[in-house]
Amino acid sequence: MYRSTLWRRDITETLFPPEARAGVLTAVASGVPLSEAMKKHGLHDELAYGRARWDAEWRAALYDAQMIGRDPSLKHGKAWTYAHHRCRCPECRATQPGCKGADVRELPNAA
């Protein structure tokens, strides 16, 4: 099982247990950037995005939290907002070339 997909997912579960995931979602929904919420647990935000690639339940919860916690005064879904306002909501991340972790078509309220 060394370096297999299951092995990596087991490591992710150990590093990022359900209690930590719940805390991160709460923080993100309250407007804390994902990178800061993850840093409180000593983790990088790429761990959260990596899990979102294979865990549909986590992806939906993370995207919902990001949509709730994003700044309503910004115009989302624009590369400018991503680059200059550092918004990492799913709509803004989807403007980035090659971004596979933020498909707007998968958003709950997407048309």
Asked if 101 and 93 touch (Cβ cutoff 8 Å), the reply is yes
Using one digit for the tens of pLDDT, what is the confidence trace for 33-84?
999 999 999 999 999 998 998 899 999 999 999 999 999 999 999 999 999 9
Closest CA to 47 of 103, 37, 69, 27: 37
Asked if 95 and 77 touch (Cβ cutoff 8 Å), the reply is yes
Closest CA to 64 of 109, 32, 95: 109
Residue 110 has pLDDT above 50, yes or no: no
Instruction: Tell if the pTM clears 0.85, that is, is over it.
Output: no
Token readout for 52 is 């979102």
